[in-house]
Amino acid sequence: MVPVSTHTSAPTEGVPSAPGAFIQDRLAGWVSDLTTLHELTERLAGTSTLDSALHELVAAGAALVGAARGLLVLEPADGGGPSRTIGLGLTHAELGHIETVPRSATTYGRFLDGLPDTGAPLASPDILGDTGLDPRFREVAARLGYAASYAQPLTTETTGRLGAAVWLYDEPAEPLERQCHLVGVYARYAAEHLARLLELERARADAAAVAEELLPSRLPRIPGVRLAARRRAAPRAGGDWYDALPLPDNALGLAIGSVGGSGPAALAAMGRLRAGLRAYAVMEGEDPVAVLSDLELLLRMTEPATAATALYAYCEPGRRTIVLAGAGHTPPLVTGERRTEFVETTLSAPLGMLSCWEAPSVEFTPRPGETVLFYTDGLLRRTGDTRDRAFARLHSAAAGVPRVLRQDPGAVADHILRTVLPVDGAGRNADAEDVVLLAARFD
């Protein structure tokens, strides 16, 4: 038997209640922070170019630390470039004022120069009141209207220092410990993403340099004709090419073509085709069909899995005659004050798609003052329109060249590129193609 007491115990006083509300608030704060970080890192991961990633990073960091303005300086420690300065809420003139401050006196400069005590973020909660700072630094801060800053280095274990980000406050302030932790986590992820984009941009720059070396360094001067060439390289190095070579008896060979694919393989195939065409043009003389037939054989022997288009024209500027043949390539466009029309060429499959390529050539005579335009398929594809509408857009652009510009083939080419290609950024994405435009104006 267990005795049961008939007395109730008095209520205890002074004992705090369970901290349920406090724990819930902390958990809600953590969930909110994780959600914010997830959203910002997802947006950063969606950037595919270095410039877009830099703008996204400085804007996201400003939101995390509660700042309205900021700047980001990209300067890789290996010295291989590229070096860029991105501003948020700062004009080019204001960025120029900041750059007048001695480098060692700025927080980002200390990071970039690897000065002592720069392994962690640096906060300047009261720039105007801190007499230990450089006078020029405080003068520029007062002129631009910011009173505090918070700087975060951007580093990775593999690449080392990449740059530094600085966020500016209009009033004396310092980010909370929670904000510093969040921006630190974000900056570590952002630095890894920047390192990948930096490597990709360097590879693209190297490929673009190789492509430029494979194309003519200058165009020949032949009496009776003036030449101009324009090229818009794609982010991924493509295989679009052109050539112009002087031939005996003041003749001129004009060629343009495109190799399928992108990257080093396309560049290598482009170089072999251009070199082969120059040799065949000298050997075959006035026969464009024979030139392309030899080029077809070369492609099947050296690049059996590659398809390419090409167009070759044998020109006699003194007689204003052009004999041309094409293999799957877009037809030339002749434009002048009295007409703008596409040159009718024979139909043929691209090089590498037939066991033996041969199609009849076409001869036509441009009138005095007319310009013949040779172009690659990328000019049509970058418009984003259907094939028919892209051709119509090109025809309209050529017909609308102002009379004052028609004397210069370079001006004609520039006008067409400005008119045909979109100006809203479309066509500069990662999947865009090369564009090559070769213009020949006959006197």
- CB crowding 195-231: b at 16 or more within 10 Å, else e: bebbebbeebeebbeebeebbbeebeebebbbbbbbb
Q: Residue 114: what pLDDT?
A: 77
What is d(CA 165, CA 179) in angstroms, rounded to the nearest whole number?
A: 15
Q: Residue 303: what pLDDT?
A: 74
Of the candidates 193, 188, 191, 187, the one whose C-alpha atom is nearest the C-alpha of residue 64 is 187
Task: Please say if the pLDDT value at position 237 is more than 70.
Answer: no
Q: What is the band of 269 on the pLDDT scale with cuts at 50, 70, 90?
A: confident
**pTM of full prediction above 0.75:** no
pLDDT tens profile 24-73 = 666 666 777 788 888 999 999 998 889 999 999 999 999 999 999 999 99
Please, are residues 367 and 321 in contact by the beta-carbon 8 Å criterion? no
Of the candidates 440, 376, 370, the one whose C-alpha atom is nearest the C-alpha of residue 401 is 370
SS3 (DSSP) at 380: helix
The 10 Å Cβ neighbour count of residue 260 is 17
The pair of structure tokens assigned to 116 is 């002592």
Task: Please say if the pLDDT value at position 424 is more than 60.
Answer: no
Average of pLDDT values for 152-177? 91
Q: What is the band of 188 on the pLDDT scale with cuts at 50, 70, 90?
A: very high
| Sequence-separated (6 or more) residues with CB below 8 Å from residue 37 | 182, 185, 186
Average of pLDDT values for 181-206? 89
In angstroms, the Cα distances linking 81 to 114, 117, 198, 202, 374 are: 17, 25, 9, 8, 36
Among 179-183, 239-243, 267-271, 274-278, the minimum mean pLDDT is found in 267-271
Average of pLDDT values for 150-170? 91
What is d(CA 355, CA 360) in angstroms, rounded to the nearest whole number?
A: 17
Q: Residue 215: what pLDDT?
A: 78
Task: Please say if the pLDDT value at position 101 is more than 80.
Answer: yes
| Sequence-separated (6 or more) residues with CB below 8 Å from residue 298 | 272, 273, 276
At the topology level, CATH places domain 41-206 in: Beta-Lactamase (3.30.450)
H helical segments located in 353-408: 378-381, 387-399
pLDDT tens profile 103-130 = 888 888 888 887 766 678 888 999 988 8
Q: What is the band of 16 on the pLDDT scale with cuts at 50, 70, 90?
A: low
Please, are residues 85 and 72 in contact by the beta-carbon 8 Å criterion? yes
CATH architecture of 215-442: 4-Layer Sandwich (3.60)
On average, the pLDDT of the chain sits at: 85
Of the candidates 299, 436, 428, the one whose C-alpha atom is nearest the C-alpha of residue 355 is 299
pLDDT tens profile 317-340 = 989 999 999 888 899 999 999 999
Neighbour order of strands in the sheet with 84-88: 84-88, 69-74, 160-169, 148-156, 122-124
Q: What is the band of 236 on the pLDDT scale with cuts at 50, 70, 90?
A: low
Residue 289's H or E segment, with its range, is: helix 288-302
What is d(CA 143, CA 374) in angstroms, rounded to the nearest whole number?
A: 54
Torsion of CA 144, 146, 150, 151, to 10 degrees: 10
Please, are residues 329 and 342 in contact by the beta-carbon 8 Å criterion? no
- Higher pLDDT: 252 or 265? It is 252
Among 219-228, 357-366, 421-430, the minimum mean pLDDT is found in 421-430
Q: Residue 22: what pLDDT?
A: 63
Average of pLDDT values for 342-352? 81
The pair of structure tokens assigned to 298 is 């070369």
Question: Domains of the chain: which residue ranges?
Answer: 41-206, 215-442
Average of pLDDT values for 280-284? 87
Task: Please say if the pLDDT value at position 214 is more than 60.
Answer: yes
